[in-house]
Structure 1
Amino acid sequence: MASDSPKQINIGKLVPPATLSCKVRSGCFIKRPPKSLKFPGFSKKLTSEEAGACISHKRLRQGAEQRALQLEERLAAQQRHTAGFDEAQSGLIQQSQLLISRNAELTHRLKTVEASVEQLQSLKLCLEAELAQVYSDRDRLAAQVHQPHVTPDVSQSQTVVSYTGKLRPWLSVATHNSVAKRARAARLAWGEIA
Protein backbone atom coordinates (compact mmCIF):
# COMPACT_ATOMS: atom_id res chain seq x y z
CA MET A 1 0.00 0.00 0.00
CA ALA A 2 1.53 3.29 -1.09
CA SER A 3 2.15 6.01 1.51
CA ASP A 4 0.81 9.59 1.11
CA SER A 5 4.25 11.28 1.53
CA PRO A 6 6.59 11.13 -1.47
CA LYS A 7 9.78 9.09 -1.12
CA GLN A 8 13.19 10.61 -1.72
CA ILE A 9 15.68 8.23 -3.32
CA ASN A 10 19.29 9.26 -4.04
CA ILE A 11 20.16 7.46 -7.25
CA GLY A 12 22.96 9.80 -8.31
CA LYS A 13 25.33 6.87 -8.64
CA LEU A 14 22.81 4.64 -10.37
CA VAL A 15 21.30 6.95 -12.99
CA PRO A 16 23.35 9.14 -15.38
CA PRO A 17 23.18 12.91 -14.68
CA ALA A 18 21.36 13.60 -17.95
CA THR A 19 18.32 11.52 -16.85
CA LEU A 20 17.99 13.06 -13.40
CA SER A 21 15.27 15.60 -12.78
CA CYS A 22 12.97 16.84 -10.06
CA LYS A 23 9.85 15.50 -11.75
CA VAL A 24 7.80 12.80 -10.16
CA ARG A 25 8.19 9.51 -11.97
CA SER A 26 6.24 6.43 -11.08
CA GLY A 27 4.83 8.11 -7.99
CA CYS A 28 8.33 8.85 -6.47
CA PHE A 29 10.12 12.16 -5.88
CA ILE A 30 13.67 11.98 -7.24
CA LYS A 31 16.23 14.14 -5.43
CA ARG A 32 18.72 16.04 -7.64
CA PRO A 33 22.35 15.06 -6.96
CA PRO A 34 24.98 17.64 -5.99
CA LYS A 35 25.87 20.34 -8.48
CA SER A 36 28.08 19.02 -11.28
CA LEU A 37 31.59 20.39 -11.88
CA LYS A 38 33.49 20.83 -15.11
CA PHE A 39 36.94 19.20 -15.15
CA PRO A 40 39.59 20.24 -17.67
CA GLY A 41 40.25 17.62 -20.30
CA PHE A 42 36.79 16.10 -20.14
CA SER A 43 33.83 17.06 -22.32
CA LYS A 44 31.13 15.82 -19.97
CA LYS A 45 30.29 17.20 -16.59
CA LEU A 46 31.58 15.37 -13.49
CA THR A 47 30.30 15.25 -9.98
CA SER A 48 32.38 16.46 -7.05
CA GLU A 49 33.32 12.89 -6.12
CA GLU A 50 34.43 12.10 -9.64
CA ALA A 51 36.27 15.41 -9.85
CA GLY A 52 38.04 14.64 -6.55
CA ALA A 53 38.97 11.22 -7.85
CA CYS A 54 40.32 12.77 -11.06
CA ILE A 55 42.30 15.36 -9.11
CA SER A 56 43.72 12.66 -6.85
CA HIS A 57 44.58 10.55 -9.88
CA LYS A 58 46.23 13.54 -11.54
CA ARG A 59 48.29 14.24 -8.42
CA LEU A 60 49.30 10.60 -8.19
CA ARG A 61 50.29 10.63 -11.86
CA GLN A 62 52.30 13.82 -11.42
CA GLY A 63 53.99 12.34 -8.34
CA ALA A 64 54.76 9.16 -10.27
CA GLU A 65 56.22 11.16 -13.16
CA GLN A 66 58.29 13.25 -10.78
CA ARG A 67 59.46 10.11 -9.04
CA ALA A 68 60.34 8.57 -12.41
CA LEU A 69 62.37 11.66 -13.33
CA GLN A 70 64.20 11.50 -10.01
CA LEU A 71 64.94 7.82 -10.55
CA GLU A 72 66.20 8.54 -14.07
CA GLU A 73 68.49 11.27 -12.73
CA ARG A 74 69.78 8.95 -10.02
CA LEU A 75 70.31 6.22 -12.61
CA ALA A 76 72.25 8.61 -14.87
CA ALA A 77 74.36 9.77 -11.92
CA GLN A 78 74.98 6.15 -10.94
CA GLN A 79 76.00 5.33 -14.50
CA ARG A 80 78.41 8.28 -14.56
CA HIS A 81 79.82 7.19 -11.23
CA THR A 82 80.14 3.63 -12.50
CA ALA A 83 81.90 4.85 -15.65
CA GLY A 84 84.36 6.87 -13.55
CA PHE A 85 84.89 3.88 -11.28
CA ASP A 86 85.53 1.65 -14.30
CA GLU A 87 88.11 4.13 -15.62
CA ALA A 88 89.81 4.30 -12.24
CA GLN A 89 89.75 0.51 -12.00
CA SER A 90 91.30 0.13 -15.46
CA GLY A 91 94.02 2.62 -14.48
CA LEU A 92 94.73 0.67 -11.30
CA ILE A 93 94.89 -2.57 -13.28
CA GLN A 94 97.46 -1.06 -15.65
CA GLN A 95 99.52 0.25 -12.73
CA SER A 96 99.40 -3.15 -11.03
CA GLN A 97 100.57 -4.85 -14.24
CA LEU A 98 103.47 -2.40 -14.51
CA LEU A 99 104.38 -3.02 -10.88
CA ILE A 100 104.24 -6.78 -11.41
CA SER A 101 106.58 -6.58 -14.41
CA ARG A 102 108.92 -4.25 -12.50
CA ASN A 103 108.89 -6.62 -9.54
CA ALA A 104 109.78 -9.56 -11.79
CA GLU A 105 112.67 -7.60 -13.29
CA LEU A 106 113.98 -6.57 -9.87
CA THR A 107 113.65 -10.15 -8.62
CA HIS A 108 115.74 -11.41 -11.55
CA ARG A 109 118.40 -8.77 -10.91
CA LEU A 110 118.41 -9.63 -7.20
CA LYS A 111 118.96 -13.31 -7.97
CA THR A 112 121.83 -12.39 -10.29
CA VAL A 113 123.43 -10.22 -7.60
CA GLU A 114 122.99 -12.96 -5.00
CA ALA A 115 124.72 -15.46 -7.30
CA SER A 116 127.59 -13.01 -7.82
CA VAL A 117 127.85 -12.46 -4.07
CA GLU A 118 128.04 -16.21 -3.49
CA GLN A 119 130.81 -16.52 -6.07
CA LEU A 120 132.71 -13.65 -4.47
CA GLN A 121 132.32 -15.20 -1.03
CA SER A 122 133.66 -18.54 -2.25
CA LEU A 123 136.56 -16.76 -3.96
CA LYS A 124 137.22 -14.82 -0.77
CA LEU A 125 137.35 -18.04 1.24
CA CYS A 126 139.80 -19.56 -1.25
CA LEU A 127 142.01 -16.47 -1.14
CA GLU A 128 141.92 -16.43 2.65
CA ALA A 129 142.94 -20.10 2.73
CA GLU A 130 145.82 -19.46 0.30
CA LEU A 131 146.89 -16.40 2.27
CA ALA A 132 146.89 -18.42 5.49
CA GLN A 133 149.00 -21.08 3.79
CA VAL A 134 151.44 -18.41 2.56
CA TYR A 135 151.72 -16.95 6.06
CA SER A 136 152.29 -20.42 7.48
CA ASP A 137 155.01 -21.16 4.92
CA ARG A 138 156.60 -17.79 5.58
CA ASP A 139 156.69 -18.40 9.33
CA ARG A 140 158.12 -21.89 8.80
CA LEU A 141 160.81 -20.59 6.45
CA ALA A 142 161.68 -17.79 8.84
CA ALA A 143 162.04 -20.31 11.66
CA GLN A 144 164.27 -22.52 9.50
CA VAL A 145 166.43 -19.54 8.53
CA HIS A 146 166.98 -18.45 12.12
CA GLN A 147 167.42 -22.02 13.42
CA PRO A 148 169.38 -24.01 10.78
CA HIS A 149 170.17 -27.72 11.18
CA VAL A 150 173.95 -28.38 11.54
CA THR A 151 175.24 -31.71 10.15
CA PRO A 152 178.94 -32.70 10.31
CA ASP A 153 180.71 -33.60 7.05
CA VAL A 154 183.36 -36.26 7.75
CA SER A 155 185.09 -36.11 4.39
CA GLN A 156 185.87 -32.38 4.53
CA SER A 157 186.28 -32.21 8.33
CA GLN A 158 184.24 -29.04 8.55
CA THR A 159 180.79 -28.04 9.68
CA VAL A 160 178.19 -27.79 6.89
CA VAL A 161 175.00 -25.90 7.41
CA SER A 162 172.04 -27.46 5.56
CA TYR A 163 168.57 -26.01 5.23
CA THR A 164 165.72 -28.45 4.84
CA GLY A 165 163.07 -25.84 4.03
CA LYS A 166 161.48 -25.71 0.57
CA LEU A 167 160.26 -22.54 -1.07
CA ARG A 168 156.77 -22.43 -2.45
CA PRO A 169 156.49 -21.72 -6.19
CA TRP A 170 153.81 -19.05 -5.67
CA LEU A 171 156.03 -16.94 -3.41
CA SER A 172 157.21 -13.70 -4.93
CA VAL A 173 160.72 -13.10 -6.25
CA ALA A 174 161.42 -10.63 -3.46
CA THR A 175 160.62 -13.31 -0.90
CA HIS A 176 162.99 -15.75 -2.60
CA ASN A 177 165.76 -13.14 -2.67
CA SER A 178 165.22 -12.27 0.98
CA VAL A 179 165.37 -15.91 2.01
CA ALA A 180 168.53 -16.44 -0.07
CA LYS A 181 170.24 -13.43 1.52
CA ARG A 182 169.38 -14.67 4.99
CA ALA A 183 170.69 -18.13 4.13
CA ARG A 184 174.01 -16.73 2.90
CA ALA A 185 174.31 -14.59 6.02
CA ALA A 186 173.60 -17.62 8.16
CA ARG A 187 176.25 -19.69 6.32
CA LEU A 188 178.84 -16.98 6.79
CA ALA A 189 177.97 -16.63 10.45
CA TRP A 190 178.23 -20.36 11.07
CA GLY A 191 181.45 -20.52 9.10
CA GLU A 192 183.03 -17.78 11.16
CA ILE A 193 181.90 -19.44 14.37
CA ALA A 194 183.24 -22.79 13.24
Structure 2
Amino acid sequence: MSFTLTDIFLLFKTWYILDRKTWFLIVSIIFILNRIGWGAIESYKSYGLWDQDSDSCKWIANVDMMTGVYASDIAIDLLATISTLIESRRYAESEFKQFFQIMVLENLIRSALSMAVTIFGLCSVWQGDETATMQFIFFSIQTYVICHLLNSEHYWLRLRTAAVPEEFKEVTVDSELQT
Protein backbone atom coordinates (compact mmCIF):
# COMPACT_ATOMS: atom_id res chain seq x y z
CA MET A 1 0.00 0.00 0.00
CA SER A 2 2.84 2.41 0.76
CA PHE A 3 4.08 2.19 -2.83
CA THR A 4 0.60 3.00 -4.13
CA LEU A 5 0.49 6.02 -1.80
CA THR A 6 3.86 7.09 -3.18
CA ASP A 7 2.43 6.80 -6.71
CA ILE A 8 -0.58 8.90 -5.64
CA PHE A 9 1.73 11.55 -4.17
CA LEU A 10 3.78 11.64 -7.35
CA LEU A 11 0.72 12.02 -9.57
CA PHE A 12 -0.80 14.64 -7.25
CA LYS A 13 2.38 16.67 -7.45
CA THR A 14 2.43 16.38 -11.23
CA TRP A 15 -1.26 17.31 -11.44
CA TYR A 16 -0.47 20.44 -9.48
CA ILE A 17 2.47 21.27 -11.78
CA LEU A 18 0.09 20.89 -14.72
CA ASP A 19 -2.14 23.55 -13.18
CA ARG A 20 -4.69 20.93 -12.02
CA LYS A 21 -5.78 19.98 -15.52
CA THR A 22 -8.85 17.73 -15.55
CA TRP A 23 -7.50 15.42 -18.25
CA PHE A 24 -4.43 14.62 -16.15
CA LEU A 25 -6.56 13.96 -13.07
CA ILE A 26 -8.70 11.48 -15.02
CA VAL A 27 -5.65 9.72 -16.50
CA SER A 28 -4.04 9.60 -13.05
CA ILE A 29 -7.13 8.02 -11.50
CA ILE A 30 -7.15 5.39 -14.25
CA PHE A 31 -3.44 4.65 -13.69
CA ILE A 32 -3.91 4.39 -9.91
CA LEU A 33 -6.95 2.11 -10.26
CA ASN A 34 -4.89 -0.04 -12.62
CA ARG A 35 -2.08 -0.21 -10.04
CA ILE A 36 -4.50 -1.06 -7.22
CA GLY A 37 -6.14 -3.72 -9.40
CA TRP A 38 -2.84 -5.42 -10.19
CA GLY A 39 -1.85 -5.27 -6.52
CA ALA A 40 -5.14 -6.81 -5.40
CA ILE A 41 -4.96 -9.62 -7.95
CA GLU A 42 -1.31 -10.25 -7.09
CA SER A 43 -2.19 -10.48 -3.39
CA TYR A 44 -4.90 -13.00 -4.21
CA LYS A 45 -2.78 -15.14 -6.56
CA SER A 46 0.49 -15.22 -4.58
CA TYR A 47 0.92 -17.28 -1.45
CA GLY A 48 3.40 -18.65 1.04
CA LEU A 49 4.15 -22.23 2.03
CA TRP A 50 6.00 -23.53 5.04
CA ASP A 51 8.77 -25.92 4.02
CA GLN A 52 9.36 -28.45 6.79
CA ASP A 53 12.65 -29.67 5.29
CA SER A 54 14.34 -26.27 5.22
CA ASP A 55 12.35 -24.91 8.15
CA SER A 56 11.55 -21.78 6.16
CA CYS A 57 8.74 -20.03 4.37
CA LYS A 58 8.67 -20.26 0.60
CA TRP A 59 6.97 -17.34 -1.09
CA ILE A 60 5.28 -18.27 -4.34
CA ALA A 61 4.73 -15.07 -6.28
CA ASN A 62 2.57 -15.01 -9.37
CA VAL A 63 5.05 -13.82 -12.00
CA ASP A 64 2.38 -12.44 -14.34
CA MET A 65 0.69 -10.44 -11.61
CA MET A 66 3.97 -9.09 -10.22
CA THR A 67 4.95 -8.06 -13.74
CA GLY A 68 1.67 -6.13 -13.94
CA VAL A 69 2.35 -4.43 -10.59
CA TYR A 70 5.86 -3.36 -11.62
CA ALA A 71 4.71 -2.31 -15.10
CA SER A 72 2.04 -0.13 -13.45
CA ASP A 73 4.69 1.52 -11.27
CA ILE A 74 6.84 2.21 -14.33
CA ALA A 75 3.84 3.58 -16.27
CA ILE A 76 2.96 5.98 -13.43
CA ASP A 77 6.53 7.18 -13.17
CA LEU A 78 6.75 7.70 -16.94
CA LEU A 79 3.42 9.55 -16.99
CA ALA A 80 4.59 11.95 -14.30
CA THR A 81 8.02 12.51 -15.84
CA ILE A 82 6.85 12.96 -19.44
CA SER A 83 4.04 15.29 -18.34
CA THR A 84 6.49 17.42 -16.35
CA LEU A 85 8.91 17.54 -19.28
CA ILE A 86 6.16 18.66 -21.66
CA GLU A 87 4.88 21.27 -19.21
CA SER A 88 8.38 22.60 -18.58
CA ARG A 89 8.76 23.41 -22.29
CA ARG A 90 5.88 25.83 -21.91
CA TYR A 91 7.94 27.82 -19.42
CA ALA A 92 11.31 27.47 -21.17
CA GLU A 93 11.70 31.19 -21.78
CA SER A 94 9.66 32.58 -18.91
CA GLU A 95 10.64 33.92 -15.52
CA PHE A 96 9.91 30.39 -14.19
CA LYS A 97 12.64 28.81 -16.32
CA GLN A 98 14.91 27.96 -13.37
CA PHE A 99 11.98 26.56 -11.37
CA PHE A 100 11.06 24.15 -14.15
CA GLN A 101 14.69 23.19 -14.74
CA ILE A 102 14.77 22.07 -11.11
CA MET A 103 11.48 20.19 -11.59
CA VAL A 104 12.86 18.37 -14.62
CA LEU A 105 16.09 17.46 -12.82
CA GLU A 106 14.14 16.21 -9.81
CA ASN A 107 11.87 14.11 -12.02
CA LEU A 108 14.73 12.61 -14.01
CA ILE A 109 16.70 11.64 -10.90
CA ARG A 110 13.62 10.20 -9.21
CA SER A 111 12.60 8.28 -12.33
CA ALA A 112 16.07 6.84 -12.87
CA LEU A 113 16.30 5.59 -9.28
CA SER A 114 12.72 4.39 -9.11
CA MET A 115 12.90 2.53 -12.41
CA ALA A 116 16.24 0.96 -11.54
CA VAL A 117 14.71 -0.47 -8.37
CA THR A 118 11.56 -1.58 -10.21
CA ILE A 119 13.59 -3.30 -12.93
CA PHE A 120 15.56 -5.08 -10.19
CA GLY A 121 12.21 -6.21 -8.78
CA LEU A 122 11.10 -7.51 -12.17
CA CYS A 123 14.35 -9.44 -12.52
CA SER A 124 13.96 -10.97 -9.07
CA VAL A 125 10.42 -12.12 -9.90
CA TRP A 126 11.45 -13.49 -13.30
CA GLN A 127 14.32 -15.45 -11.65
CA GLY A 128 11.72 -17.75 -10.13
CA ASP A 129 13.39 -17.83 -6.72
CA GLU A 130 10.97 -19.86 -4.60
CA THR A 131 12.32 -18.60 -1.31
CA ALA A 132 11.07 -15.34 0.04
CA THR A 133 14.64 -14.08 0.48
CA MET A 134 14.96 -12.34 -2.88
CA GLN A 135 11.52 -10.76 -2.56
CA PHE A 136 12.28 -9.48 0.94
CA ILE A 137 15.63 -8.09 -0.21
CA PHE A 138 13.91 -6.31 -3.09
CA PHE A 139 11.12 -5.01 -0.86
CA SER A 140 13.71 -3.66 1.59
CA ILE A 141 15.72 -1.97 -1.16
CA GLN A 142 12.57 -0.51 -2.71
CA THR A 143 11.39 0.80 0.67
CA TYR A 144 14.80 2.31 1.37
CA VAL A 145 14.96 4.07 -2.01
CA ILE A 146 11.37 5.37 -1.82
CA CYS A 147 11.94 6.70 1.71
CA HIS A 148 14.98 8.61 0.50
CA LEU A 149 13.13 9.89 -2.56
CA LEU A 150 10.29 11.16 -0.37
CA ASN A 151 12.71 12.67 2.15
CA SER A 152 14.52 14.41 -0.68
CA GLU A 153 11.32 16.44 -1.17
CA HIS A 154 12.61 18.75 1.59
CA TYR A 155 15.77 19.41 -0.41
CA TRP A 156 13.91 19.90 -3.70
CA LEU A 157 11.33 22.15 -1.99
CA ARG A 158 14.09 24.50 -0.89
CA LEU A 159 15.55 24.60 -4.40
CA ARG A 160 12.15 25.15 -6.02
CA THR A 161 11.26 27.90 -3.54
CA ALA A 162 14.55 29.67 -4.18
CA ALA A 163 13.93 29.45 -7.94
CA VAL A 164 10.56 31.22 -7.84
CA PRO A 165 10.92 34.85 -8.92
CA GLU A 166 10.58 37.27 -6.00
CA GLU A 167 7.45 38.96 -7.32
CA PHE A 168 5.60 35.61 -7.20
CA LYS A 169 6.64 34.54 -3.70
CA GLU A 170 4.08 34.78 -0.95
CA VAL A 171 4.80 36.98 2.03
CA THR A 172 4.22 34.06 4.40
CA VAL A 173 6.95 31.73 3.21
CA ASP A 174 8.16 29.41 5.97
CA SER A 175 11.32 30.88 7.51
CA GLU A 176 13.02 27.48 7.30
CA LEU A 177 12.71 27.58 3.52
CA GLN A 178 14.39 30.98 3.34
CA THR A 179 17.70 29.65 4.70
* TM-score bracket relative to the smaller structure: under 0.3
Greater percentage in helix: 2
Higher relative contact order (CA 8 A, sep 6+): 2
Give the TM-score taking structure 2 as reference length.
Answer: 0.21
Give the TM-score taking structure 1 as reference length.
Answer: 0.20
Larger Rg: 1
